[in-house]
Structure 1
Amino acid sequence: MFQGLIAYLDSIRARDPAPRSRWEILLYPGAWALFFHRIAHWLFEAKLYFLARLVNHISRFLTAIDIHPGATIGKNFFIDHGFTVIGETVEIGDNVTIYQCVTLGGTNPTNGKGGKRHPTIRDNVIIGSGAQIIGPITVGDRARIGANAVVTDDVPEGATMIGLKARSTLVPAEDWIKEFIPYGTPCDDPCQPSRDCVEKLDAELKALREEFEALKAQTAADAGVAARRSGTDD
């Protein structure tokens, strides 16, 4: 158990450069929220729903993180900062990182009955601050959800999603970034295809302008020649 705790704290240090020691991480609200959730989830599985909710409310009061006792969470889950909401039927894999103000929310079933209505987050996913992932969708392994993205459709494995409504950055899945990306929001290489496209358009526009200027100059020269010929004929 002690070794498991050490491994968990080290997994957080690998993703967050801020703490100077493991002791600091023990003060993180995300670590405490996960601790309380393990207890609440055990009570929920034992059908002690009131006690599970009680632990959940205590955790929310102390950490500003609301994790429904029914949510299933894997190993090395890290919520950086807080103010996150995780719904009842959420399933989270291993080594998932979530930043502040994220919602893993559900849809209202048309039949009025519960069921799978919240997202499934696979292993090694990073979810940036303010992102909203809604409905019984699946976010594939190693996916990155950019800050403030709103995701309502399945996310392919290794994809990077940005915007509202979220769209892929068009980086091929086989080119996914292997290193950890803070906030799940790329600022360099994953956007290279877009920059290449802009540079290509700029080059084409420059060529068109040069062609237009040359054509305009040629037209003016032809008009001058025609005018001189007309004067000579008179």
Structure 2
Amino acid sequence: MFKSIRAELAVIRERDPAARGPFEILLCYPGFQALTLHRLSHRMWHSRLPLKLPSRLLSQLGRSLTGIEIHPGARIGNGVFIDHGMGVVIGETAEVGNHCLLYQGVTLGGTGKKSGKRHPTLADNVVVGAGAKVLGALTIGPNTRIGAGSVVVRDVDADCTVVGIPGRVIHQSGVRINPLAHSALPDAEANVIRNLMDRIDQLENQVVTMQTCLRAIAAGQPIKEVCAGASQNLKDREILEFLGE
């Protein structure tokens, strides 16, 4: 337990430029406080003694003090950092690997009413952005980033970036990214819309070219002379040659 506490102190000082010293972290960081209380309630939850209710009461106390709700049954690794943390919910069968980073409003929630494993498993070095929801008994691979506001409902491989609702995977292989830069994510919707607009412009140009040639045909003009040089696009020239024939 004390080894985990020392690891979390070191990670906070490394990742948060606002952390000025261990006493400030101990007194003013709700994420650290919630994890410390969870270490104790987790040991009580898995004790041979009948301490289920006291462990739940301790977790509720942590929720009241910090705004972070962690079920005593959840398994959390070393060096985990919950930044700010208000509104974070971690379910009973959730597992969080070493050196993960969770921002405020994150939910590691379950789906359905069946007993057993029903919450997500996060491997090591996973970053979950503010307000993101990871739902169900799925697995998030190591070194994965989940963008703010995303909703993840499927397994994710290692070294991926996930954005959107539902979450879509965008691979970032070979690129080292600052774990705190969870907002610097690609905009998948904007890229799709941009590609569609480019395609629409191309099709409109082809339609205009065809209309010019058809009017020339209707007026009895020589099609090749009217349409010569009308377009620099290879597909447009193929269309003109077809109309000319």
Give TM-score, length-normalised by structure 2.
0.75
Residues 5, 89 of structure 1: CA spacing in aligned structure 2 closer, same or farther, 3 A cutoff? closer
**Could you tell me how far 1:20 is from its partner in structure 2?**
3.9
AA aligned to 1:74 is G
How far the C-alpha of 1:34 sits from its partner, in A, is: 0.6
* 2:179 maps to which of 161, 178, 181: 181
Out of 60, 80, 83, the residue aligned to residue 57 of structure 1 is 60
Structure 2: stretches of 5+ with no match in the other structure: 222-245
Are residues 136 and 199 of structure 1, via their aligned partners in 2, closer, same or farther at CA, if it must alter by over 3 Å? Answer: closer
Structure 1 residue 181 displacement after superposition:
3.5
| SS in structure 1 at match of 2:42 | helix
CA contact (8 A) 2:101 2:126 kept: yes
Aligned CA distance change for structure 1 residues 2 and 104 (closer, same or farther; 3 Å): closer
Q: Any idea what SS the aligned residue of 2:36 has? A: helix
More divergent stretch after superposition (35-44 vs 155-164): 155-164
2: distance between equivalents of 1:56 and 1:14? 27
Gap regions ≥5 residues in structure 1: 227-234
Q: CA deviation at 1:184?
A: 3.6
CA contact (8 A) 1:41 1:69 kept: yes
TM-aligned CA deviation for residue 203 of structure 1: 4.8
Query: Matched residue of 1:168: which SS?
Result: strand
Distance 1:133 1:69 in 2: 19
**Residue 70 (structure 2) aligned to one of 67, 71, 86:** 67
Name 1:116's counterpart in structure 2: 117
Q: Identify the range of structure 1 (120-129 vs 212-221) with the bigger mean alpha-carbon deviation.
A: 212-221
- Say which SS state the counterpart of residue 168 (structure 2) adopts: strand
Deviation at 1:4, TM superposition (A): 6.7
Match runs of 1:1-234 below 5 Å: 5=5, 7-26=7-26, 27-47=28-48, 48-81=51-84, 82-110=86-114, 114-169=115-170, 171=171, 175=173, 177-182=175-180, 184-188=182-186, 195=191, 202-224=197-219, 226=221
1:229 counterpart residue number:
none
Pairwise CA RMSD: 2.9
Q: Which AA in structure 1 matches 2:16?
A: D
CA distance in 1, matches of 2:175, 2:183: 11
Task: Decide which moves more: 123-132 or 19-28.
Answer: 19-28
State the AA in 2 paired with 1:101: G
The aligned counterpart of 2:234 is none
C-alpha contact (below 8 Å) 2:7/2:78 kept by paired residues: no
1:158-209 Cα offsets, whole Å, 9 max, x none, are 222222222223x26xx16433333744335xx59x74x6666555544444
Structure 1 length normalisation: TM-score? Answer: 0.78
C-alpha spacing 1:44/1:6, structure 2 compared with 1 (3 Å) = closer
What SS does structure 1 have at the residue aligned with 2:163? Answer: strand
Greater displacement, 46-55 / 56-65 = 46-55
Choose 90-99 or 139-148, whichever is displaced more.
139-148
Q: Is the 8 A contact 1:126 1:183 kept in 2?
A: no
Q: Deviations over 1:41-84 (max 9, x none)?
A: 11112142122122212111110111111111101111111211
Number of aligned pairs? 217
C-alpha spacing 1:203/1:125, structure 2 compared with 1 (3 Å) = same
